[in-house]
């Protein structure tokens, strides 16, 4: 199994570990210390040795941070993780704080009214994060102090850094050689008057060099740092044990390999202006350049947009991956519907679904830990079943099943909500509203230049009409055999990045009733130019192409709530599922698919 069901949260360990951290804080003479979820690469998913937030507090969610003061400790989490945080930490010592509704600066002012020094590890915070916090605290007596990592000093058995093998990524899947990518992006640096750019994001380096790694669970990226020069040359700071002869031949003479400890001297030896991404480069990098008098400009990581806007080869590859994955999903759903009520638990669901994906013979990993939340667990948007929490599916439940696979030709992510027996009217009505939002986003056309924030409300509108909503974005970017969460594009009210052809986003509205049930329906979409309409008088529109082809469960649909275009869209989508996936299925699954996709 790629997925573990071990319960790694240790709420009982929070109090003694917080106490140990406070002892060091007192010796260092600081009033507070910040512990983020992130690592030195600013990735969402981190290696075991970088799970400092989970080790200190017990909270295992993929986003959040803790601020520890002498008398209080706040765990800042957003709407996806609030219920989870309350169950995973000792709330007598650690107080969950609603973020971003409560800003860290405001919380610090209340906790440190007379001021004080707040310590943080400059490897774990970007220059932008530190600068923004300093600005918000500028009218207070609180100062920020970069320092060594204090959690590492009290973590006696901290795991060693990963050293996963790096492998070349095929050119026919990447659609462009890494020599071409480096040359193209290097010239863009030169045109901006910059001599180099610092890259710290694992997926940026993997994409640029056409390599994949294995340092992070479920995300095929390597740990390392890179400096891209305007002449296209690149210096790659990475553990040499990760590179075999094939990887070295792939990288070639224009990529210089240096050990990680050479990164600091390499930064300090740079000349000319250096581009830094304020949102991702650790403050530590800025400190090295400043110490050596190396000028820097703030600018976006040069790989971000080219990586986000997939080329024709990448889109063709990921289409194939999604068809393969859809067949595995349909085999699972046919099996699921054959199981008698009361015989399955959440872990059974996760294990069987992974087995169906493995049966393709091409699954390299899952793309994230499968979310299989039944009944009240479905209300936890990022629930992960453990041996402790494993719940039997009961008649009347609905199951939120969010999962994905890593294949050489693509990264998949799909959510379906499934009935167990006959759910109630409230559940079916809420499901139908979520479906209406998903359909509305799938059908939308928009003028070029609009961003995710301009479209986000389209998926929420049916829920808003019933005074319902969901506390997460409507969609995130997705890579091609890279990270399942990829920027900079999102369908979110806070995303200002214009959507461009080739970008892949998820479309996943939901609804969650705490303690009762959850609903989410998710497909992946790729942005594509829209064909002109015969009677239209405007051009330059964009639209979405759907990548996933797995039936939406019709047993949860209140058909009378759907308007004619919505019914037509769903029937048309189900017809595509039959045509595209049917030939790939076993006889039993084909029969199931015919029944599951019958017209409304």
368 and 486 fall within a common domain: yes
What is the per-residue pLDDT for 168?
Answer: 98
Query: What is the domain-level CATH number for residue 267?
Result: 3.40.350.10
444 and 569 fall within a common domain: yes
Residue 228 lies in a domain: yes
Helices (H), ranges, 281-424: 283-292, 304-308, 312-338, 346-358
Q: How crowded is the C-beta side of 584, counted as CA atoms within 13 Å?
A: 22
390 and 466 fall within a common domain: yes
Cβ-proximal residues to 556 (8 Å cutoff; 6+ apart), any chain: 398, 417, 419, 423, 427, 428, 431, 432
Whole-number Å distance between alpha carbons of 506 and 520: 12
Element (H, E) at 187: helix 178-191
Residue 119 lies in a domain: yes
504 and 427 fall within a common domain: yes
127 and 218 fall within a common domain: no
3-state secondary structure of 358: helix
332 and 273 fall within a common domain: no
First to last CA, the chain: 38
Residue 374 lies in a domain: yes
Q: How many CB atoms lie under 10 A from the CB of residue 60?
A: 23
339 and 449 fall within a common domain: yes
Q: Strand runs (DSSP E) across 341-483, as ranges? A: 363-366, 371-374, 398-403, 405-407, 410-411, 414-419, 445-447, 475-477
222 and 133 fall within a common domain: no
Q: 453, 504, 502: which is closest to 483 by C-alpha? A: 504
What is the per-residue pLDDT for 87?
Answer: 86
Q: Which of 154, 178, 207 is the last residue of a domain?
A: 154
Q: 462, 456, 466: which is closest to 426 by C-alpha? A: 466
Residue 161 lies in a domain: no
Q: How many domains does the chain have?
A: 3
Q: 168 and 246 in contact (C-beta within 8 Å)?
A: yes
491 and 449 fall within a common domain: yes
What is the per-residue pLDDT for 11?
Answer: 83
What does pLDDT average to in each consecutive run of 10 residues of the chain (600 residues)?
88 92 97 96 90 94 92 91 86 92 94 95 96 95 97 96 97 98 98 98 98 96 98 98 98 98 98 96 98 97 98 98 98 97 96 98 98 96 93 96 98 98 95 98 97 98 98 96 96 97 98 96 98 86 98 98 98 98 98 97
Residue at token pair 């696979």: 405
What is the per-residue pLDDT for 345?
Answer: 98
Structure letter (DSSP) for residue 232: S
309 exposure class (CB count in 10 Å sphere: 0-12, 13-18, 19+): middle
Residue 2 lies in a domain: no
Q: Which of 154, 186, 214 is the last residue of a domain?
A: 154
Q: Which of 254, 287, 307 is the last residue of a domain?
A: 307
Q: 482 and 203 in contact (C-beta within 8 Å)?
A: yes
What is the per-residue pLDDT for 12?
Answer: 84
Domain that holds residue 285: 167-307
Query: What is the domain-level CATH number for residue 577?
Result: 3.90.230.10
Structure letter (DSSP) for residue 484: S
Q: Strand runs (DSSP E) across 375-444, as ranges? A: 398-403, 405-407, 410-411, 414-419
Whole-number Å distance between alpha carbons of 436 and 225: 44
496 and 387 fall within a common domain: yes
133 and 171 fall within a common domain: no
Residue 204 lies in a domain: yes
Q: 405 and 378 in contact (C-beta within 8 Å)?
A: no
What is the per-residue pLDDT for 7?
Answer: 83
Whole-number Å distance between alpha carbons of 247 and 261: 21
378 and 326 fall within a common domain: yes
Phi-psi region of 293 (alpha: psi -120 to 50; beta: other; left: phi over 0): left
Cβ-proximal residues to 349 (8 Å cutoff; 6+ apart), any chain: 336, 372, 393, 399, 401
What is the per-residue pLDDT for 444?
Answer: 98
């Amino acid at each position: 199994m790629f997925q573990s069901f071990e319960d790694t949260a240790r709420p009982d360990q929070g109090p003694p570990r917080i106490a140990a951290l406070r002892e060091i804080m007192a010796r260092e003479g600081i009033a507070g210390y910040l512990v983020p979820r992130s690592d030195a690469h600013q990735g969402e998913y981190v290696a075991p040795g970088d799970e400092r937030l989970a080790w200190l507090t017990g909270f295992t969610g993929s986003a959040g941070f803790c601020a520890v003061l002498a008398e209080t400790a706040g765990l800042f989490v957003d709407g996806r993780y609030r219920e989870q945080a309350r169950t995973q930490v000792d709330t007598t010592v650690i107080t969950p704080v609603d973020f971003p509704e409560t800003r860290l600066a405001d919380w610090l002012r209340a906790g440190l009214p007379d001021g004080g020094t707040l310590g943080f590890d400059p490897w774990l915070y970007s220059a932008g994060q530190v600068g923004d916090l300093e600005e918000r605290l500028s009218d207070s007596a609180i100062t920020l102090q970069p320092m060594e990592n204090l959690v590492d000093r009290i973590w006696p058995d901290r795991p060693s850094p990963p050293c996963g093998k790096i492998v070349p990524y095929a050119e026919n899947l990447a659609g462009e050689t890494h020599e071409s990518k480096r040359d193209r992006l290097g010239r863009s640096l030169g045109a901006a008057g910059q001599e180099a750019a610092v890259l710290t994001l694992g997926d940026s380096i993997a994409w640029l060099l056409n390599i994949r790694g294995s340092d992070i669970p479920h995300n095929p990226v390597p740990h390392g740092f890179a400096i891209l020069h305007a002449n296209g040359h690149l210096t790659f700071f990475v553990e040499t044990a990760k590179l075999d002869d094939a990887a070295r031949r792939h990288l070639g003479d224009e990529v210089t390999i240096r050990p990680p400890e050479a990164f600091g001297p390499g930064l300090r030896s740079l000349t000319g202006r250096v581009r830094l991404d304020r949102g991702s480069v650790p403050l530590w990098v800025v400190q090295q350049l400043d110490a050596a008098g190396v000028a820097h400009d703030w600018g976006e990581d040069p790989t971000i947009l080219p990586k986000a806007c997939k080329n024709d080869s990448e889109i063709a590859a990921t289409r194939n991956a999604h068809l393969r994955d859809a067949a595995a999903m349909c085999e699972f759903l046919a099996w699921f519907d054959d199981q008698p009520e009361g015989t399955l638990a959440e872990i059974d669901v996760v294990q069987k679904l992974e087995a169906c994906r493995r049966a393709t013979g091409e699954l390299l990993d899952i793309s994230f830990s499968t979310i299989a939340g039944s009944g009240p667990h479905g209300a936890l948007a990022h629930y992960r079943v453990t041996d402790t929490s494993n719940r039997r599916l009961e008649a009347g439940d609905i199951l939120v099943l969010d999962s994905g696979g890593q294949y050489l030709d693509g990264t998949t992510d799909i959510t379906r909500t499934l009935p167990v027996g006959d759910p109630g009217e409230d559940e079916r009505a809420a499901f139908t509203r979520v479906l209406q939002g998903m359909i509305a986003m799938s059908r939308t056309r928009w003028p070029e230049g609009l961003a995710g924030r301009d479209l986000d409300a389209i998926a929420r509108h049916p829920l808003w009409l019933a005074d319902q909503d969901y506390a997460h974005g409507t969609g995130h970017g997705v890579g091609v055999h890279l990270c399942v969460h990829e920027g900079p594009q999102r369908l979110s009210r806070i995303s200002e990045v214009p959507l461009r052809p080739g970008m892949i986003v998820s479309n996943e509205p939901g609804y969650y009733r705490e303690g009762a049930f959850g609903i989410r329906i998710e497909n992946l979409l790729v942005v594509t130019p829209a064909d002109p309409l015969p009677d239209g008088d405007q051009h330059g529109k964009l639209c979405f192409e759907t990548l996933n082809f797995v039936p939406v469960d019709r047993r949860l649909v209140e058909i009378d709530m759907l308007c004619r275009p919505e019914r037509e869209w769903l029937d048309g989508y189900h017809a595509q599922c039959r045509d595209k996936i049917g030939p790939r299925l076993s006889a039993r699954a084909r029969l199931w698919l015919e029944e599951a996709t019958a017209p409304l």
